[in-house]
Structure 1
Amino acid sequence: MKRIVNVLFAGVLAMTVLSCSEEKKGYTLNGEISDVKNGMVYLKKYQDKSFIDVDSAVITDGVFKFEGACTEPLAYGLTTFKDSKRPLVFFLDNEEMQLKMNESEKVLTVTGSALNDLYAQNAPLTRQDGYSIDSLVSAHPASAVTPYFVVKDFAYKLNLEEMKALRAKLDASLDGTMYVNQIDDFIKRMENIQVGAVAPDFTLPDVDGNPVTLSALRGKYVLIDFWASWCPDCRKENPNIVAAWNKFKDKNFTILGVSLDRKKEPWLAAIEKDQLTWTHVSDLKDWKSDAAVQYAIRWIPMNFLLDPNGVILAVGLEGEALQQKLEEVLK
């Protein structure tokens, strides 16, 4: 009897070890590329709104292979151009997958992954009118693909309550994953910039490199104006802001322009050309500007009107709405 028990225990132990080893196995990507016979192919991971390099492989006679392990299922991309910011995207988990690609025709076919099948079914549709992200969340609340689409294609256009509703439907098994963490962080930042909240403080360099802190402007009504020299809609809106500035600048009102420019020269040139004579700041980080991230900026132009205590009075005032609101509060 003791021998039987030992044999059973050994069998259970072997099955446990085998199960653990299977859970820890990594991915294998067996690839074929029809438009490059010999060269290099690069594997990139989608993170923080861009693709970062993960690995590379040699292409020999149109064939390549990647092996590795990922900590969680995420969106990845393949490209034969090392500096490409638009690789062919697929969803990667620790599975063996077969890939066929033609980068010149922007074609990537993946088999062997149910997760990627869900991604491939929805990727062409998410930016079409009428697509329901709520339906995807309801049908696949535990899939890692679902929060990816929420972050990439819907966070920039849904309001706070809509984002909260989607988040509440996601399965708890996704808590702590990268894309769900991004949703949670985004919701928190949106909560911080609602009307009635005290505007989050920040410090950025002005045109001469001197630090300017938002809270130092307390005591005045402040319009925080997010814009950029490369943004046509911003440049079109600038005359309205100039008119408001000229009308109210002597009535305890000021403007803090926050640019999402990438380079200093066009930023300064636009300030001069558009006659924007108020204080301007920028860290020249484009959409990754510290203040833009802090204020959950999803499009520009975007502005926030603050009272003398730094409390947000209004958001997104454009055209006549800006002057009307200023007339109301600066009686």
Structure 2
Amino acid sequence: MKKHLLLLVAAVVSTAFAYADNRKLSVNGTVEGVQSGKVYLQKFDNKMYKLIDSAQIKNGRFSFDKVVELPEIYAFTLDTTQSAYMVFLDENPVTVKFDTAQYYRNTVVTGSKLQDLFTEYKKQKRVRVDEFIKANPASLVSAYVLYRDFSYRLSPEEIQSNIQLLDASLRNTPYVKVLEELIKVLETVSIGKKAPDFTVNDVEGKPVKFSDYLGKGYVLVDFWAAWCGPCRRENPNVVKVYAKYHDKGFDIFGVSLDRSKEAWVKAIEKDNLTWTHVSDLLYWNSEPAKLYGVRAIPANFLIDKDGIIVAKNLRGEDLDKILGEYFD
């Protein structure tokens, strides 16, 4: 009797803390300017998308009628190699007016309350994440916003305090799980801590150990990617600083979050990045990025000759200024 009671309690607790479940998805849509072809349904996974299903476009119309995990974040696209339109889907039937022009600017999704909330969120400026969560504590949108838009701006303590504002039903979502793991990682790469070591292949496919570059001076571990616009715009500043301080003992160790080796190598050459570069070509699943808690790029860590992190996320004149203090 006691055993059955324990199992019942466990089942109730599990259900109480479960957010998503396998439910039937109902989507009907039209595609602007397209009469035939396919619409692909993808599931959001760590800033990437995994293919779930596809639907034929007939006379400009398509539909999905499939059991999937709901509520959850998905995306629609006509080409899985190109950008997709992200959408929050819940248990309600959804209608989509799909328009691929101008980065899906005119796409309209109706029926999903979660998508309505996300659309309203994107219109707001200077959002305070704690206030947004307090207003929507049980919404998947709140967990996503904290995960995607604020985690890289907040301290471990701030991330934890915001997680506490979320409804308990969201604790088992992948977004909160990533945040909880991120808190642990960020504590290991704070200023004053020993920089974690790693080994990743360079552009020639040869394994390179980061710690082999320590001990001579200051090293900037620079996380970037060829596809990252802000990274490419920051590169001229990094090149300038490298030229100014390299002979004094400054080096850079570039870590790319690219997927395409061709694009990565081409960007290195085009931006004149003449220092050591490595990448496992795993995009947001990059092992060094996970090790350093990198959730947005560009990101960097300045390491001294003893392997200690002395500064983080230096941009433009800030990087030049702090190196000037160390070398001049």
Assess if the C-alpha contact under 8 Å between 1:141 and 1:171 holds in 2: yes
Assess if the C-alpha contact under 8 Å between 1:202 and 1:213 holds in 2: yes
**Is 1:163 aligned to residue 150 of structure 2?**
no
**Is 1:244 aligned to residue 245 of structure 2?**
yes
Q: 1:229 Cα deviation (Å)? A: 7.6
Match of 1:115 in 2: 114
Match of 2:183 in 1: 187
Aligned-CA RMSD value: 3.2
Assess if the C-alpha contact under 8 Å between 2:202 and 2:208 holds in 1: yes
- State how far apart, in whole Å, the 2-side matches of 1:130 and 1:180 are: 22
Query: How many residues were matched structurally?
Result: 296
Match of 2:221 in 1: 225
1:214 paired residue among 206, 210, 213: 210
Assess if the C-alpha contact under 8 Å between 1:204 and 1:283 holds in 2: yes
- State how far apart, in whole Å, the 2-side matches of 1:321 and 1:30 are: 49
The normalised TM-score by structure 1 is 0.75
Match of 1:66 in 2: 64
1:257 paired residue among 236, 254, 258: 254
Aligned AA for 1:236?
Answer: N
Aligned AA for 1:109?
Answer: V
Q: Percent identity?
A: 33
Assess if the C-alpha contact under 8 Å between 1:160 and 1:190 holds in 2: yes
- State how far apart, in whole Å, the 2-side matches of 1:37 and 1:195 are: 56
Which segment is superposed worse, 195-204 or 144-153? 144-153
Larger radius of gyration: 1
- State how far apart, in whole Å, the 1-side matches of 2:182 and 2:294 are: 10
Match of 1:269 in 2: 269
Partner SS state of residue 126, structure 2: coil
2:302 paired residue among 284, 300, 305: 305
Assess if the C-alpha contact under 8 Å between 1:28 and 1:67 holds in 2: yes
Q: 1:326 to 1:150 in 2, by over 3 A?
A: same
Match of 1:147 in 2: 143
Match of 1:51 in 2: 49
Assess if the C-alpha contact under 8 Å between 1:228 and 1:234 holds in 2: no
The normalised TM-score by structure 2 is 0.76
Partner SS state of residue 71, structure 1: strand
Q: Which runs of 5+ in 1 are unaligned?
A: 1-22
Q: 1:328 Cα deviation (Å)? A: 5.3
Q: 1:330 Cα deviation (Å)? A: 6.4
Q: 1:316 Cα deviation (Å)? A: 2.8
